[in-house]
Structure 1
Amino acid sequence: MRLTIVAATGGIGRHLVEQAVAGGHDVTAVARRPSDLPDGVRTVAVDLTRPDMPTLTAAVRGADAVLSALGPRNPRADAGITSHGTRAIVAAMQAERVRRIIIVSAAPVGPVPVPGRPTPPRHDPGDGFLMRHLGVRLTHAMFGRHYADLAVTEQTLRDSGLDWTVSRPPKLTDKPLTGTYRTAWNRNIRGGFSVPRADVAHHMLAMVNEPETVEQVVGIAT
């Protein structure tokens, strides 16, 4: 398949590129400063904080799917990057009539209100007692602006008319690929507090060919 991978030099993005190349896919890697990527990968330099739309549009042209690992390096300082960049990706895909997109969000996003979804559930149905009454408050106190931006990002996809899927992992780790993880649709994973970045990438690639995941939010955790 022809895949365009956005934020290809980030923590999840690198795994996406490496695993996609190993799987025999034709990969276009989009990053602000693409470097140190595997041979055989077409690289495109795009700063998604100030995207050059003709370049981004060319990067998604002809793709069977776009996979975005876009996110801030510092969630406290860089809130806004993900929604801004995702709007640009969606616009480029719409211009090129590319339909399939899978993005990374985060597990605590569910209860965050946005203009298109002003009254979300008070708690995610997959969260246990501690997460509902302590974990969510703590994470939103620390990274509230970031989660609010991810909620806007998810709403951008819902409104896009594209064939979208959102992956919502909890805490990300740098442990090696296991290929063994739990998933659940439209809910977090009970007792799932972390997952390797490599496994998130593995699951995103798997979902490209799973039409049942279209227009679904999918929780993932070990």
Structure 2
Amino acid sequence: MKLTVFGANGAIGQAVVREAVKAGHEVIAVARRQGTLDKSPAQHKAYGLMTDANFVRQQVVNSDVVISAVGPSLNSKRQDKTTPVADGLAVLVAVMEEWQSKRLIINGTPTLADRHRDKNSLVTLVPKVMARLFLPAGYREMKKMQAILEQTSVDWTVVRFLNPNLKSDGVGYTYAFGDSKAKFSVSRQNIAKFMVYDSYKSQFSREMPIVFNR
């Protein structure tokens, strides 16, 4: 399988590329800044902006699955009205709508709501309140991303998580939709494993599982 990974130079993006290559997939690693992929094990590397439709099209045209590991803004300034990640997502899904056979997997937080499966719980409710109060730019970005995903015909999956700072993978990962007890932490490696796994299993079509360490 051929995967395109945007944000491949970030902590989660690097883990996704490593997992995908280890699983035997052909990977196109994409980053904004030149030279940031020099040590990436990806077979192909490209540099450019997700808001550049022609560039995006070149990176996804031959791929089966597109993964975006580009994270939302952590800017706490309320006057910042920009939404660069959501704007990039809008371009990406517009390009991908040209090929209905391709899948899109992105990362996010429980600020994004799975309106069909989420149950009210701490893990689905607290992040929304905290983001709205303390990370207004990120909250605004997530709301815009939600609208983009709900309107597109692309077959997407959002892998949601909280506090991706654990170094240990524990004894693996699991997921929930607020319907069972969930931890508020996960390793980046387990996020990557989940994203790569769903790239070929297609278990969560148009769903947003919350992944966490067991």
Calculate the TM-score normalised by the size of structure 2: 0.84
Separation in 2, partners of 1:81, 1:194? 26
Residue in 1 that maps onto 2:148: 156
Q: 1:24 to 1:191 in 2, by over 3 A?
A: closer
Deviation of the 1:126 alpha carbon: 4.8
Unaligned segments of structure 1, at least 5 residues: 112-119
Which stretches of structure 1, 4 residues or more, deviate above 6 A after TM superposition?
Answer: none
> 1:94 maps to which residue?
97
Residues 1-222 of structure 1 mapped to structure 2, 5 A cutoff: 1-33=1-33, 34-48=36-50, 51-72=51-72, 74-76=74-76, 80-97=83-100, 99-110=102-113, 125-128=119-122, 132=125, 136-178=128-170, 180-184=172-176, 186-187=177-178, 190-222=181-213
TM-score (norm 1): 0.81
Give the corresponding residue for 1:114: none
Bigger drift between 76-85 and 99-108 goes to 76-85
User: Which runs of 5 or more structure 2 residues have no equivalent in the other structure?
Assistant: none
Q: What is the alpha-carbon distance in structure 2 between the residues aligned to residue 75 and residue 190 of structure 1?
A: 30
Moved more, 61-70 or 86-95: 86-95
Count of residues paired in the alignment: 207
Identity of aligned residues (%): 25
CA contact (8 A) 1:60 1:98 kept: no
Secondary structure of the 1:9 match is coil
